[in-house]
């Protein structure tokens, strides 16, 4: 069961990395893939802590930082949609030049 959990969380992690690196059209897809990666890392941390019988304080801190990261990403998305009218990363990059 331990190896199956590690394999599943690593599969989730690499799927998130693949989506993050392959599709960069919409900012929302990039943010969702980052949250997917954070979720798989959280699962790996929990598996590690359960296996070696450690304290569960670090996952709470990790969740706090991941929620802050998600809130910052959504605020960037909202400000980009308000200023540019869409969430295409290509139109945002062209406006910086």
Domains of the chain by start residue, with CATH: 2-96 (1.10.287.3510)
Kindly report which listed range (9-18, 50-59, 61-70) carries the lowest average pLDDT score: 50-59
Pull the structure tokens for residue 50.
Answer: 């359960």
Q: Could you tell me which residues come within 8 angstroms of residue 20 by beta carbon, excluding any fewer than 6 positions away?
A: 30, 33, 34, 37
What lies within 8 Å, CB to CB, of 51 at 6+ separation is: 2
What is the per-residue pLDDT across 14-36, written as a single tens digit (0 to 9) for each?
999 998 888 777 778 888 899 99
Q: Which is nearest to 74 in space by CA: 31, 40, 34?
A: 31
How confident is the model over 71-96, as a mean pLDDT? 75
Please say if the pLDDT value at position 94 is more than 70. no
**Nearest Cα to Cα of residue 63 among 83, 88, 46:** 46
């Amino acid at each position: 069961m331990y190896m199956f959990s590690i394999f599943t969380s690593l599969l989730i992690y690499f799927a998130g990395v693949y989506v993050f690196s392959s599709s960069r059209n919409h900012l929302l897809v990039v943010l969702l893939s980052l949250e997917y990666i954070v979720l798989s890392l959280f699962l790996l941390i929990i598996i590690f802590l359960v296996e070696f019988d450690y304290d569960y304080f670090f996952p709470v801190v990790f969740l706090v930082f991941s929620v802050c990261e998600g809130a910052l990403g959504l605020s960037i998305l909202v400000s980009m949609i308000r200023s540019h009218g869409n969430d295409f990363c290509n139109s945002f990059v062209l406006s910086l030049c």
